[in-house]
Amino acid sequence: MEESVPFNVLSHKMVPVHELLSDEETDKVLKKLKITRDQLPKIKENDAAIKMLEKAMNQAIPEKSVIRIIRDSETSEEAVVYRLVIRG
Amino acid sequence: MMRGVSKRIGSIKFACLSPDEIRRMSATKIITADTYNDDGFPIDAGLMDTHLGVIEPGLMCKTCGHKVDECPGHFGHIDLAMPVIHVGYVKEIKKLLQATCKSCGKLVLTEEDVKEYRQRMDTMEELGSDAIDMREFSKETAKAAAEKAMKEVCPHCGVEQKKITLDKPTTFREDGHKLTPKEVRERLERIPDVDLIPLGIDPGACRPEWMVLTALPVPPVTVRPSITLESGDRSEDDLTHKLVDVLRINQRLRENRDAGAPQLIVEDLWELLQYHVTTYYDNQTSGIPPARHRSGRPLKTLVQRLKGKEGRFRSNLSGKRVNFSARTVVSPDPWLSINQVGVPTFAARELTVPVNVTKDNIEVLRNMVKRGPAPVGLVYEPGVNYVIRQDSRRIRVTERNAETVAEGIEINYIVERHLMDGDIVLFNRQPSLHRMSMMAHMVKVMPGKTFRLNLCVCPPYNADFDGDEMNLHVLQSEEARAEAHILMKVQEHILSPRFGGPIIGAIHDHITGVFQLTYHDPHFNKAQTLFIVSKMGKNQLPEPMTEKGNEFWTGKTLFSTILPPDFDAQFKAHICQKCNKCEKENCQHDAYVKIRNGKLLMGTIDDNAIGSGDGKILDKIARDYGADRAREFLDDVTKLAIGSIMVRGFSTGIDDEDIPEEAKRQIEDKINNTFSEVDHLVASYRDGTLDQLPGRSLEETLEVEAMKKLGDARDEAGRIAGKHLGIENAAVQMAKSGARGSMLNLSQMAGCIGQQAVRGERLSRGYWNRTLPHFQKGDLGAQAKGFVKNSYKSGLTPTEFFFHSMGGREGLVDTAVRTSRSGYMQRRLINALEDLKLKQDGTVRNTADSIIQFEYGEDGIDPTRSVQGDAIDLDDVLRHVLGEHNADLLTRADERKIGGYATVEKDLMETISEEEEESEESDFDSGGEE
């Protein structure tokens, strides 16, 4: 049922850029922030953006992956945030 | 006091009480339902047994041997004849019964499934899920098991499962057959420990069968004290009443059961016991009638004691009553600094500050103690109420013993001296909606009975003087005082974090005062100048100017004396007419303010310069010169304005709205014209020649057109009236300078009040097809639908007055609804955000140290230090870098900014806030008690 929806949310202008971080990048980010994975904000595996991202990259995004989201911000030009993929 | 000794709470664990634990912690078993014997002494094994603590002076606790106030009280217990279900746990019990097998008690899931669920829980824990997520997940697990149980047999023992339903509040049924609490308990006992973990229960903390009670803890008597009435009768606490009921039925149930009474009778009594135990915990359980007092009042049992606004949490734990505080009416005093608060002597003598006696202050303090608790004399001098010795014994200082106590003062004593000038206190007005609702002030003890405050601090507290009361708290420790000095003083809050501008600033007469001082630069002779300057406490007049041999001073020079010597600024004043092309330096209206090197070269000082909310000068001084200088400036402005306004005096009255007959006629004509235009519209609507607006029905088109016409008529009336109200008019001065009121208010007083509206539409409801019975049915004309043609001055006709009341009522209802709703929203928001804090690395985190924002506000800017929300004041920087004379470059920068997205947004916000203000300050404002 969900799969039948043809619309790619990632291409909508209101949806910010989502990127999957590689393991090295993840480690770098965590090290920079001096945190462990569990302290990151979360995003559910079944989030529309994650599902579209999986489709676009043609690979599954496993739990514990970290997603980088680059958003337009009213206060700064753009805001970079990270989210941890959890099972939804 | 044990300073420096502190323990850190690592974690708190909540668990169920096992029957065993209930009995172990019990001081005595309660058997009889009686409380006191004939002599008025507590009965042994009764509900007031002295093993449970004492509430009467003279008696001794049989458990700990202490007396009243020393003995904390001890729990007892009641052994229940038959088990009953604890209402607080019915949901859990239902979940457990449905998810587990009726015969073997295991979770109705395969081993592999259970394993997976447990694994999922582990990863969730690892990935930082909180307790709420975990509970959600275990609920899912239970649901999965319950669903499986409905479809399949138990995977462990192969028994078919039956459907368990809950008959609210406490009856469980299996395929319609009642399950007794005893049977429920037996089933819960069968559930193995390992299967509890995926269901979200820690078997170490709680075995499920404990949710069915076999023993009931009896709270200490100190928790449910009885009161002795004047008549000598005893009145028991609601909890005691309820426990008496439980005991009685328990007793009867036991007797009947032991005597082998018929099953039916035993079951009835059992259910009755269940009812009493249920209401003992929660007397508002849905599905059963609440237990009542003899008078018919529902009993206040355990849950009712804790829940809601008046419950233990919100009223006794989150909010407590405090000592060293005072509350009284506030009144204004412009001679106080914004940092000060005037405290009446009477209050100052009650409020005390503890001072440690050292070798340096011992003589001073000894003198204070000598003065006793109520020194006399014209000048206020602090006395002392209490002296605390090293062994923390308090000695009350009285007039009699003052001398002797004073002699006995030693080093390391603590002296609780009266409040005196310069002490720092917290000052607060409810509702405390933002951090500026509670600020630190310096005490100034004065005669009178009210707290006095500078008018500039009214906006942050939202205070006025129509009977407002405020609270004052005296800080008791050195740390608190230091913190208040650095963080909470009024001067530190001149700039608001809400919009990055000054929230503390001049209001009302202060703005009028400086407006009169600077508008078109009036001249003052030496006497007048001295009068003004003397108010400020300056002892030097500025350089005079001379004309025809006469010395004089201009208002702008006087204002310049309070500016920092190197101050530069330029902006448009509030009186700006918003001309199409700004003439800047050549402004006709003296509305372009330019300050160079601390000299006001041109322009009028008004709301936009020093006002609360918009004061550009204030903003810049606070930002560039610091809080101290801003406070000094504000204090000076206050006094300068007072001096200036007193030179001429200032007053407004109804005759300020007088307009010539000619103008009245013009307004009348204009309105009558509009009426006939509206009639034309109605006529064309009737015969179908009205052009329909896109996206609107014909009726809507008519309404929109008519509203527009009538709105224009009111504006026109206002304009005509305004033409005759010059700037020499006091009311106009207030409106134009931004001190109080608006030109709209004035035009409604002098010209025409205009269309009244409810829900943004012309009035239409009331009678059938008309607003009032003396209009034609279906009349769509202006006057039949709530247009008020008169002005407040000319007076309203009865119909107009009625229409006006309809519009006014909507405003009242709206504010009432808005305040309650926004209050609740605020509460929810605060509860959600209260544990967030900005960490050293710029991230926002909660108490679990999880990240909420990677960079505070995404840009890391403190809005208090921002320039109207921007990180830096680009215009100012450019002007500094490019210099004064690169005018065209600066203009280009201006233009670029207007095109920018941020400016548009800001303009939008400005208009919104203006609109809000107008609706707020409608005709029904200013009602005394709010």
- Say whether B854 and A76 touch across the interface (CB within 8 A): no
Q: Is the pLDDT of residue A19 over 70?
A: yes
Domain B325-493: which topology?
Barwin-like endoglucanases (2.40.40)
Q: Strands of B394-396's sheet, edge to edge?
A: B352-356, B414-418, B384-388, B394-396
* Largest distance between two CA atoms of chain B: 123
Q: DSSP of B176-236, one letter per residue?
A: TEEEPHHHHHHHHHHS-HHHHGGGT--TTT--GGGGEEEEEEE--GGGS--EE-TTS-EE-
Encode pLDDT of B102-114 as tens digits: 888 888 888 888 8
Q: Is the pLDDT of residue B922 over 70?
A: no
Q: DSSP of B766-792, one letter per residue?
A: SBTTBSSTTSPTT--STGGGTEE-S-T
Return d(Cα B747, Cα B727) in angstroms, integer. Answer: 14
- Say whether B850 and A37 touch across the interface (CB within 8 A): no
Closest C-alpha to B417, from B480, B468, B372, B450? B372
- Say whether A75 and B851 touch across the interface (CB within 8 A): no
Q: Rounded to two decimals, what is the model's pTM? A: 0.81
- Say whether B129 and A86 touch across the interface (CB within 8 A): yes
- Chains A, B: CB contacts within 8 A come to 58
* CA B93 and chain centroid, separation: 40
Return d(Cα B371, Cα B415) in angstroms, integer. Answer: 13
- Say whether A33 and B120 touch across the interface (CB within 8 A): no
State the pLDDT at residue B929: 36
Which chain A residues are closer than 8 Å to B849 by Cβ? 35, 39
Q: Is the pLDDT of residue B559 over 70?
A: yes
B interface mutation test: which of A42, A66, A75 has the most B CBs within 10 A? A75
Question: In sequence order, what are the residues at sequence separation of 6 or more whose Cβ sits closer than 8 angstroms to the Cβ of residue A16?
Answer: A69, A70, A71, A72
Encode pLDDT of B898-918 as tens digits: 444 444 344 444 443 444 444
State the pLDDT at residue B440: 96
Q: Measured between CB atoms, does B857 come within 8 Å of chain A? A: yes
Q: Pairing state of beta strands B171-174 and B76-85?
A: unpaired
Return d(Cα B843, Cα A34) in angstroms, integer. Answer: 11
Summary mean pLDDT of chain B:
86
Q: DSSP of B575-590, one letter per residue?
A: T----SS--GGG-TTS
Q: How far is A62 from chain B (nearest CA, A)?
A: 13
Q: Measured between CB atoms, does A21 come within 8 Å of chain B? A: no
Banded pLDDT at B309 (limits 50, 70, 90): confident
Encode pLDDT of B769-827 as tens digits: 888 898 888 888 888 888 898 889 889 999 999 999 998 999 899 989 888 888 888 88
- Say whether A39 and B851 touch across the interface (CB within 8 A): yes
- Say whether A33 and B851 touch across the interface (CB within 8 A): yes
Q: Measured between CB atoms, does A41 come within 8 Å of chain B? A: yes
Identify whether the C-beta of residue B449 lies closer than 8 Å to the C-beta of residue B344: yes
Which chain A residues are closer than 8 Å to B127 by Cβ? 37-38, 42, 63-64, 84, 86
Q: DSSP of A18-46, one letter per residue?
A: EEEPPHHHHHHHHHHHT--GGGS-EEETT
Question: In sequence order, what are the residues at sequence separation of 6 or more whose Cβ sits closer than 8 angstroms to the Cβ of residue B388?
Answer: B354, B394, B395, B413, B414, B415, B416
State the pLDDT at residue A4: 55
Banded pLDDT at B689 (limits 50, 70, 90): confident
- Say whether B858 and A82 touch across the interface (CB within 8 A): no
What is the chain A residue with the closest CA to B843? A33
Token reading at B792: 């407040």
Q: Which residue has the higher pLDDT, B530 or B885?
A: B530
What is the chain B residue with the closest CA to A84? B127
Return d(Cα B923, Cα B2) in angstroms, integer. Answer: 58
Which H or E element spans position B608? helix B607-610
- Say whether B854 and A82 touch across the interface (CB within 8 A): yes
The domain B509-648 having CATH identifier 1.10.274.100: the answer here is yes
Partner-chain residue, chosen from B127, B848, B861, that has the shortest CB–CB distance to A75: B861
- Say whether B841 and A33 touch across the interface (CB within 8 A): yes
Q: What is the mean pLDDT of residues B629-640?
A: 92
Q: Is the pLDDT of residue B486 over 90?
A: yes
Identify whether the C-beta of residue B500 lies closer than 8 Å to the C-beta of residue B867: yes
Q: Is the pLDDT of residue B921 over 50?
A: no
Q: DSSP of B538-577, one letter per residue?
A: ---PPPPEEETTEEEEEHHHHHHTTS-TT--EEEE-TT--
Q: Where are the strands (E) in B278-371, listed by range?
A: 325-332, 340-344, 352-356
Return d(Cα B540, Cα B561) in angstroms, integer. Answer: 10
Q: Which residue has the higher pLDDT, B485 or B4?
A: B485
Q: Where are the domains of chain B?
A: 325-493, 509-648, 654-813, 872-930
Residue B194 CB-half CA count within 13 A:
8
Q: Is the pLDDT of residue B586 over 50?
A: yes
**CA quadruple B258, B262, B268, B274: dihedral positive or negative?**
positive
Q: What is the mean pLDDT of residues B12-16?
A: 88
- Say which range, A1-5, A40-44, B97-101, B660-664, has the weakest mean pLDDT: A1-5
Return d(Cα B817, Cα B331) in angstroms, integer. Answer: 29
Q: What is the mean pLDDT of residues B405-421?
A: 91
Measuring CA to CA, how many Å separate B299 from each of B240, B281, B310, B661, B698?
A: 11, 11, 15, 72, 61
- Say which range, A4-13, B112-121, B630-639, B831-840, has the weakest mean pLDDT: A4-13
Residue type at position B880: H
Banded pLDDT at B330 (limits 50, 70, 90): very high
- Say whether A42 and B127 touch across the interface (CB within 8 A): yes
Domain A2-86: which topology?
Eukaryotic RPB6 RNA polymerase subunit (3.90.940)
- What percentage of chain B has pLDDT greater than the value 70? 94
Q: Measured between CB atoms, does A86 come within 8 Å of chain B? A: yes
State the pLDDT at residue B898: 43
Question: In sequence order, what are the residues at sequence separation of 6 or more whose Cβ sits closer than 8 angstroms to the Cβ of residue B723?
Answer: B663
Token reading at B28: 């005595």
Which chain A residues are closer than 8 Å to B843 by Cβ? 33
Measuring CA to CA, how many Å separate B106 from each of B98, B676, B908?
A: 11, 86, 64
A interface mutation test: which of B858, B904, B908 has the most A CBs within 10 A? B858
Encode pLDDT of B236-246 as tens digits: 889 999 999 99
Q: Is the pLDDT of residue B227 over 70?
A: yes
State the pLDDT at residue B915: 40
Return d(Cα B610, Cα B604) in angstroms, integer. Answer: 11
Q: Which residue has the higher pLDDT, B276 or B883?
A: B276
- Say whether B127 and A82 touch across the interface (CB within 8 A): no
Identify whether the C-beta of residue B645 lies closer than 8 Å to the C-beta of residue B512: yes
Backbone angles phi, psi at B895, to 5 degrees: -60, -45
The domain B654-813 having CATH identifier 3.80.10.10: the answer here is no
B interface mutation test: which of A38, A67, A77 has the most B CBs within 10 A? A38
Q: How is residue B42 annotated by DSSP? A: B
Banded pLDDT at B421 (limits 50, 70, 90): very high
Question: In sequence order, what are the residues at sequence separation of 6 or more whose Cβ sits closer than 8 angstroms to the Cβ of residue B70?
Answer: none
Q: Measured between CB atoms, does A32 come within 8 Å of chain B? A: no
Q: Measured between CB atoms, does B123 come within 8 Å of chain A? A: yes
Encode pLDDT of B57-70 as tens digits: 888 888 888 888 88
Q: What is the mean pLDDT of residues B78-82?
A: 92
Which chain B residues are closer than 8 Å to A86 by Cβ? 124, 127, 129
Partner-chain residue, chosen from B851, B857, B869, that has the shortest CB–CB distance to A35: B851
- Say which range, B159-168, B474-483, B874-883, has the weakest mean pLDDT: B874-883
What is the chain B residue with the closest CA to A75? B859
- Say which range, B1-10, B91-100, B252-261, has the weakest mean pLDDT: B1-10
Q: Where are the domains of chain A?
A: 2-86
- Say whether B850 and A38 touch across the interface (CB within 8 A): yes
Q: What is the mean pLDDT of residues B75-86?
A: 93
Return d(Cα B428, Cα B750) in angstroms, integer. Answer: 40
Identify whether the C-beta of residue B696 lies closer than 8 Å to the C-beta of residue B638: no
* B431 upstream amide cis, omega within 30 of 0: yes
- Say which range, B789-793, B876-880, B891-895, has the weakest mean pLDDT: B891-895
- Say whether A40 and B128 touch across the interface (CB within 8 A): yes
Banded pLDDT at B468 (limits 50, 70, 90): very high
- Say which range, B150-164, B514-528, B546-560, has the weakest mean pLDDT: B150-164
Identify whether the C-beta of residue A78 lies closer than 8 Å to the C-beta of residue A71: yes
Return d(Cα B753, Cα B721) in angstroms, integer. Answer: 12
Which chain B residues are closer than 8 Å to A87 by Cβ? 120, 123
Q: Measured between CB atoms, does A22 come within 8 Å of chain B? A: no
Angle between helices B90-99 and B131-151 (to 10 degrees): 50
State the pLDDT at residue A3: 54
Q: Measured between CB atoms, does A69 come within 8 Å of chain B? A: no
Q: How far is B613 from chain A (nearest CA, A)?
A: 21
State the pLDDT at residue B460: 93
> Of how many residues is chain A composed?
88
Q: What is the mean pLDDT of residues B140-148?
A: 87
- What percentage of chain A has pLDDT greater than the value 70? 93
State the pLDDT at residue B892: 55
Q: Write the burial class of residue A7 (CB in 10 Å: 0-12 exposed, 13-18 middle, 19+ buried).
A: exposed
- Say which range, B297-311, B508-522, B859-873, has the weakest mean pLDDT: B859-873
* Alpha helices (H) along B456-525: 458-461, 478-483, 509-518
Encode pLDDT of A40-66 as tens digits: 999 998 888 898 888 888 888 888 899
- Say which range, B700-709, B866-875, B904-913, has the weakest mean pLDDT: B904-913
Q: Is the pLDDT of residue B884 over 80?
A: no
* CA B188 and chain centroid, separation: 47
Which chain B residues are closer than 8 Å to A82 by Cβ? 854
Q: How far is A64 from chain B (nearest CA, A)?
A: 8
Return d(Cα B513, Cα B516) in angstroms, integer. Answer: 5
What is the chain A residue with the closest CA to B841? A33
Which chain A residues are closer than 8 Å to B848 by Cβ? 39
State the pLDDT at residue A6: 67
Place of tokens 């009255």: B653
Residue B742 CB-half CA count within 13 A:
12
Question: In sequence order, what are the residues at sequence separation of 6 or more whose Cβ sits closer than 8 angstroms to the Cβ of residue B275?
Answer: B288
